[in-house]
Structure 1
Amino acid sequence: MYKPFDQMPANARIWTYTSNRRLDKSELEILSSRLSAFCELWNTHGALMPTSFEIRFDQVIILAVDESQLGASGCSIDSSVRVLRDIENELDIDLLNQGKVSFIKSEGDLEVNPILGIKSKVTEGILQAETIVLNPVVKNKADLENNWKIKAKESWLNKFFEN
């Protein structure tokens, strides 16, 4: 059963999926419609789960499940991946490939790059130690609010910066 994202508890489990490109208005409408329908019926072993989603930067999907009442099973997580795969095909985007680094450019836009070649962004000065990157390993909504946007030097990227 769908709940507004802001009503999800801090301990709600989350998954983030970043598109390789920014979505336009019509694509965002399709995405929102598909995710709303999915969240309304997302269940584990036939029992509906309190779920939600949010789209940030017009390219990051955040799925949330309140597991305090009912935990997400492997089958229920698989069903979310199937929906995302269908969305990928429909919109011709890459969501499920986790080999991406996302950082916020000076004008506030999100830039998404493949992990391979990220060192060249550092060498070119595009990605710096103080650049805000999106931490892909956040696990719950509280982490999303407190640890999702971090400085590159506080992430695994720190190995690219001189100490």
Structure 2
Amino acid sequence: MYIPFSELPPQARLWIYQASRPLTAAEQSEIKPLLERFATEWSSHGKGLQASAELLHDRFLVLANNEEATAASGCSIDKSVSFVRELEQRYNVSFFDRTQLAFLQNEEVKLIGMQELKNHVAAGEIDKNTLYFDTLVTSYGELQQAWPRPAGNSWLSRYF
């Protein structure tokens, strides 16, 4: 069962996939109905999930499920990964490259390779207050309250 993203409960579970490039307006207009259809049909052991999906900041695909209604099973999570892989193929974009970190700088999402992070910190281009899009956020409430969050308040804190 599809739930509008803005109506998710705070405890809804999230999976955030970061695109390797910004999605164009045309791509987003094609992808949004695919996301809604996937969320509508997404199920766990034959039981429909209370799910939603959204594109944020032209780059982040977010899938969500109200776990209090029905928990996502391993098989249903596998279905979501397959769906995201299909989008990758169709739009020639990667959603699974975890070596790229996304920061908000000058109102733009900027990707920095993990191997380059120390250099950017040393140069003062990234500091503990730089806003970071932490794809490890797991609940809708956390997304609403602290996303993006200061890098120093994330797992990146060890770099500062």
- After TM superposition, the score normalised by the length of structure 1 is 0.91
SS in 2 for 1:138: coil
1:11-31 deviation per Cα after TM superposition (whole angstroms, max 9, x unaligned): 111111110110111111222
Cα deviation for residue 109 of structure 1 reads: 1.2
Cross-structure match for 1:39: 39
Equivalents in 1 of 2:90, 2:122: separation in Å? Answer: 36
Cross-structure match for 2:14: 14
1:16-53 deviation per Cα after TM superposition (whole angstroms, max 9, x unaligned): 11101101111112221221111110000111111001
Cross-structure match for 1:113: 112
CA contact (8 A) 1:138 1:147 kept: no
- Percent of pairs with identical residues: 29
SS in 2 for 1:17: strand
Structure 2, unaligned runs of 5 or more = none
SS in 2 for 1:62: strand
Letter in 1 for 2:149: I
Equivalents in 2 of 1:154, 1:3: separation in Å? Answer: 30
Letter in 1 for 2:67: E
Cross-structure match for 1:75: 75
CA contact (8 A) 2:18 2:135 kept: no
Hey, which bits of structure 1, 4+ residues long, moved more than 6 A? none
Cross-structure match for 2:51: 51
CA contact (8 A) 1:51 1:64 kept: yes
1:66-110 deviation per Cα after TM superposition (whole angstroms, max 9, x unaligned): 11111100000000000100101111111022222111012x111
Equivalents in 2 of 1:82, 1:113: separation in Å? Answer: 26
Cα deviation for residue 151 of structure 1 reads: 1.2
Equivalents in 1 of 2:115, 2:144: separation in Å? Answer: 28
CA contact (8 A) 1:135 1:147 kept: no
Matches within 5 A, 1:1-163: 1-106=1-106, 108-161=107-160
Structure 1, unaligned runs of 5 or more = none
The answer to which of 42-51 and 136-145 deviates more is: 136-145
Equivalents in 1 of 2:31, 2:148: separation in Å? Answer: 23
1:92-150 deviation per Cα after TM superposition (whole angstroms, max 9, x unaligned): 111022222111012x1111222122222223332222211112221111111123322
SS in 2 for 1:117: helix
Letter in 1 for 2:42: W
SS in 1 for 2:89: helix
